[in-house]
């Protein structure tokens, strides 16, 4: 029944021509307006909706509810390791139930718990063993998003674990300090499993991160924020099949670290927020309600060379940013919150009148560089992202586990050119992700990326009509996925494989 309604609304939305982008006229557009009629433009103006989310088939995108701030933000535990033969962490995918609403138990998935997972904290140079166990009743995989490790440990769809199975993976941490994450990646089932709660963070520390003097008191002034939107049904369940949208499932309920209606209490000091857009499909533009600026210090895969002052930052699914907000100018009477572009209150802050001198943010954080050689390399791989719903493709093809789309030599940099080909109705942003590597954005439509994207990335937001050049190098061998990180697009086949030899 639901699917019939969905198909109908899908067709209607096709007729309404790009209904999803309706309020984008005053923001950075997800869609080109040049091919829209006057009528469409008028429809845009009169409709409340979601500025951020250009879903062709969401002709009535769900607006996010404000956080009332009634619950303290949950801080995920840091996973302890058992120090036998190397460093062993245990990660179990589990089924459980979680209380988001008084009087209701919601059926959820989690790692080592009922919803989301712990933070796995590792040091550069360590050899790490992780024992992964599947206690779900369904198959799953354990994918380490942003980690540069051998393909066989990457946890793509080839490394399927059936219900009840476990596997130990081992790898050397060989990349710089960063905030990464892990989530399932079974073929065709990623979106549902992430939606139900499977996601956790990985922190890599190194000598540089230890010496910079940045806020690093975990849970006090160094705060993880896993941002997700969900749709709870009448019984307060996460009914994925009911909520599902082929162009990306969105919800009206915001969860941060699995907290509904979160607030965060901070001291009068600089606070580092490590933000992960862990949503299936929703894009966010984070701002402060005061209009004040903040600084970004890190991208997906490491520190920026220097702090970049911003008034807002946009993150598409799976992208991360570390930002520092200076609360020293506020007091307990201050009304300050992290908000979305449309002013939705995401995370209100309560401020302790406890002034702490947290020092200055260093002017120099890293030595990231795009070399002339990289800039002058010819394009050797071309990818075209196209389509919508369950007709999404890369180079005209949908994912086939038996097909290797590209090969690349280990340790050799190649230039990948990714084109987000618009369709008659404009198109959508596709967050493009490559497994097993951190890449550099060389150019966006021929122009060098903004300062806050001049750093290591593993996911890049590509606007309709945009052509992006990436310098891509794999340190390890194996088969790696590349795909759109709108999880329903990934499951619908907007994914390919590169074999590194
Ligand atoms: Cu996509």
Distance 428 CA to ligand 1 centre (A): 7
171, HSE (Cβ side, Cα atoms, 13 Å): 23
DSSP one-letter code for 447: B
Query: Residue 428's beta-bridge partner residues?
Result: none
> What is the DSSP secondary-structure string of 229-279?
EE---TTS---HHHH--TT----SEEEETTEESEEEEEEESEEEEEEEE--
User: Of 323, 355, 387, which residue sits at a domain end?
Assistant: 355
> Looking at the domain assignment, is residue 262 inside a domain?
yes
Assess whether 421 and 344 both reside in one domain.
no
**Quick one: which of 317, 275, 257 has its CA closest to 488?**
317
Distance 227 CA to ligand 1 centre (A): 19
Distance 3 CA to ligand 1 centre (A): 21
Does the pLDDT of residue 440 top 50, yes or no? yes
Least confident of 49-53, 61-65, 377-381: 49-53
Give the Cα separation of 473 and 399 in Å (integer).
22
Q: Look up the domain containing 398 and give its range.
A: 372-500
User: Of 285, 320, 355, which residue sits at a domain end?
Assistant: 355
Distance 427 CA to ligand 1 centre (A): 9
Buried b vs exposed e over 302-338: b needs ≥16 C-beta within 10 Å?
bbbbebbebebbbbbbbbbbbbbbbbeebeeeeebbb
The CA-based dihedral angle spanning residues 185, 187, 192, 193, taken in that order and rounded to the nearest 10 degrees: -40
Give the Cα separation of 154 and 134 in Å (integer).
16
Please say whether the beta carbons of 16 and 8 come within 8 A.
no
Distance 384 CA to ligand 1 centre (A): 12
Distance 285 CA to ligand 1 centre (A): 18
> Looking at the domain assignment, is residue 361 inside a domain?
no
Assess whether 121 and 171 both reside in one domain.
yes
Mean pLDDT of the residues in the chain = 89
> What is the DSSP secondary-structure string of 202-220?
EEEE-HHHHHS-----BTT
> Looking at the domain assignment, is residue 411 inside a domain?
yes
Distance 498 CA to ligand 1 centre (A): 18
Give the Cα separation of 320 and 184 in Å (integer).
18
Give the Cα separation of 195 and 81 in Å (integer).
27
> Looking at the domain assignment, is residue 24 inside a domain?
no
Assess whether 141 and 173 both reside in one domain.
yes
Give the Cα separation of 60 and 228 in Å (integer).
19
Assess whether 309 and 409 both reside in one domain.
no
Give the Cα separation of 475 and 477 in Å (integer).
7
220 contact partners, CB below 8 Å, separation of at least 6:
267
Distance 138 CA to ligand 1 centre (A): 25
Structure confidence at residue 38 (pLDDT): 35
H or E stretch covering 281: none
Does the pLDDT of residue 58 top 50, yes or no? no
The CA-based dihedral angle spanning residues 168, 172, 176, 181, taken in that order and rounded to the nearest 10 degrees: -10
Structure confidence at residue 8 (pLDDT): 38
Least confident of 37-46, 74-83, 290-299: 37-46
Distance 487 CA to ligand 1 centre (A): 8
Name the more confident of 38 and 212: 212
Structure confidence at residue 259 (pLDDT): 98
**Quick one: which of 172, 170, 176 has its CA closest to 205?**
176
Distance 118 CA to ligand 1 centre (A): 28
User: Mean per-residue pLDDT for 456-461?
Assistant: 98
Distance 319 CA to ligand 1 centre (A): 14
Distance 431 CA to ligand 1 centre (A): 6
Distance 249 CA to ligand 1 centre (A): 12
Distance 456 CA to ligand 1 centre (A): 21
Assess whether 204 and 241 both reside in one domain.
no
H or E stretch covering 150: none
Distance 402 CA to ligand 1 centre (A): 22
Distance 462 CA to ligand 1 centre (A): 9
Distance 495 CA to ligand 1 centre (A): 10
Distance 489 CA to ligand 1 centre (A): 5
Distance 389 CA to ligand 1 centre (A): 9
Please say whether the beta carbons of 229 and 486 come within 8 A.
no
Indicate the number of domains in the chain: 3
H or E stretch covering 475: none
Assess whether 463 and 484 both reside in one domain.
yes
> Looking at the domain assignment, is residue 47 inside a domain?
no
Distance 164 CA to ligand 1 centre (A): 32
Distance 283 CA to ligand 1 centre (A): 12
Distance 279 CA to ligand 1 centre (A): 13
Assess whether 97 and 146 both reside in one domain.
yes
> Looking at the domain assignment, is residue 101 inside a domain?
yes
Distance 360 CA to ligand 1 centre (A): 39
User: Of 211, 246, 266, which residue sits at a domain end?
Assistant: 211
Dump pLDDT digits (tens) for 236-289. Answer: 999 999 999 999 999 999 999 999 999 999 999 999 999 999 999 999 999 999
Distance 486 CA to ligand 1 centre (A): 5
Distance 144 CA to ligand 1 centre (A): 20
Q: What tokens were used for 90?
A: 């245990």
Q: How far is CA 213 from CA 45, 50, 120, 208, in A?
A: 47, 38, 21, 10
Distance 247 CA to ligand 1 centre (A): 7
> Looking at the domain assignment, is residue 28 inside a domain?
no
39 falls in which pLDDT band (50, 70, 90)?
Answer: very low
Give the Cα separation of 109 and 95 in Å (integer).
5
Distance 309 CA to ligand 1 centre (A): 29
Does the pLDDT of residue 367 top 60, yes or no? yes
Assess whether 436 and 486 both reside in one domain.
yes
3-state secondary structure of 272: strand
Distance 123 CA to ligand 1 centre (A): 33
> What is the DSSP secondary-structure string of 311-370?
SEEEE-TT-EEEEEEE-TT--TT--EEEE-TT--EEEEEEEEEEE----PPPS-------
Assess whether 391 and 349 both reside in one domain.
no
Give me the sheet containing 200-205, strands edge to edge.
Answer: 119-123, 200-205, 178-183, 143-145
> Looking at the domain assignment, is residue 419 inside a domain?
yes
Distance 485 CA to ligand 1 centre (A): 6
Dump pLDDT digits (tens) for 138-158. Answer: 999 999 999 999 999 999 999
Distance 394 CA to ligand 1 centre (A): 10
Residue 19 sits at φ, ψ, to 5 deg, of: -55, -20
Distance 56 CA to ligand 1 centre (A): 11
Distance 335 CA to ligand 1 centre (A): 36
Assess whether 376 and 495 both reside in one domain.
yes
Assess whether 438 and 462 both reside in one domain.
yes
60 falls in which pLDDT band (50, 70, 90)?
Answer: low
Give the Cα separation of 494 and 393 in Å (integer).
5
Distance 181 CA to ligand 1 centre (A): 20
Name the more confident of 95 and 42: 95
Q: How far is CA 114 from the centre of its chain?
A: 21
Assess whether 397 and 470 both reside in one domain.
yes
Distance 484 CA to ligand 1 centre (A): 5
CATH at residue 152: 2.60.40.420
């Amino acid at each position: 029944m639901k699917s019939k309604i969905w198909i109908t609304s899908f067709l209607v939305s096709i007729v309404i021509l790009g209904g999803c982008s309706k309020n984008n006229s005053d923001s950075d557009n997800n869609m080109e307006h040049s091919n829209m009629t006057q009528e469409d433009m008028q429809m845009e103006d009169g409709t409340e909706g979601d500025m951020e989310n250009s879903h062709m088939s969401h002709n009535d995108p769900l607006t996010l509810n404000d956080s009332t701030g009634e619950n303290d933000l949950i801080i995920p535990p840091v996973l302890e390791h058992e120090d036998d033969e190397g460093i062993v962490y245990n990660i179990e995918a589990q089924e459980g139930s979680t209380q988001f609403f008084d009087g209701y138990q919601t059926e959820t998935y989690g790692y080592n718990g009922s919803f989301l997972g712990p933070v796995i904290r590792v040091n550069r140079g360590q050899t790490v063993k992780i024992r992964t166990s599947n206690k779900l009743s369904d198959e799953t995989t354990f994918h380490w998003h942003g980690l540069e490790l051998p393909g066989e440990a990457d946890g793509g769809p080839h490394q399927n674990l059936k219900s009840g199975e476990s596997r130990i993976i081992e790898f050397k941490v060989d990349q710089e300090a960063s905030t990464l994450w892990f989530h399932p990646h079974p073929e065709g089932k990623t979106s549902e499993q992430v939606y139900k709660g499977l996601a956790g963070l990985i922190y890599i520390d190194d000598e540089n991160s230890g010496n910079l003097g940045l806020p690093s008191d975990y849970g006090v002034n160094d705060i993880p924020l896993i941002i997700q939107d969900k749709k709870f049904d009448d019984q307060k369940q996460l009914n994925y099949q009911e909520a599902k949208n082929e162009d990306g499932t969105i919800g009206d309920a915001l969860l941060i670290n699995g907290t509904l209606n979160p607030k965060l209490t901070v001291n009068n000091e600089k606070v580092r927020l490590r933000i992960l857009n862990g949503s299936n499909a929703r894009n966010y533009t984070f701002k402060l309600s005061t209009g004040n600026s903040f600084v970004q210090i890190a991208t997906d895969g490491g520190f920026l060379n220097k702090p970049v002052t911003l008034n807002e930052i946009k993150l598409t699914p799976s992208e991360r940013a570390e930002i520092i907000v200076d609360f020293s100018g506020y007091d307990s009477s201050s009304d300050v919150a992290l908000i979305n572009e449309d002013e939705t209150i995401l995370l209100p802050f309560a401020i302790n009148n406890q002034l702490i001198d947290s020092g200055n943010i260093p002017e120099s954080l890293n030595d990231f560089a795009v070399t002339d050689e990289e800039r002058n390399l010819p394009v050797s791989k071309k990818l075209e992202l196209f389509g919508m719903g369950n007709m999404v493709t890369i180079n005209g093809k949908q994912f086939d586990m038996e097909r290797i789309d590209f090969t690349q030599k280990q340790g050799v940099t190649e230039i990948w050119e990714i084109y987000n080909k618009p369709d008659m109705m404009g198109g959508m942003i596709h967050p493009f992700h490559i497994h097993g590597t951190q890449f550099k954005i060389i150019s966006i439509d021929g122009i060098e990326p903004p300062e806050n994207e001049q750093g290591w990335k593993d996911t890049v937001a590509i606007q309709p009509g945009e052509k992006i050049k990436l310098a891509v190098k794999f340190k390890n061998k194996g088969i790696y996925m590349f795909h759109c990180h709108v999880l329903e697009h990934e499951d619908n086949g907007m994914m390919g494989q590169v074999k590194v030899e």
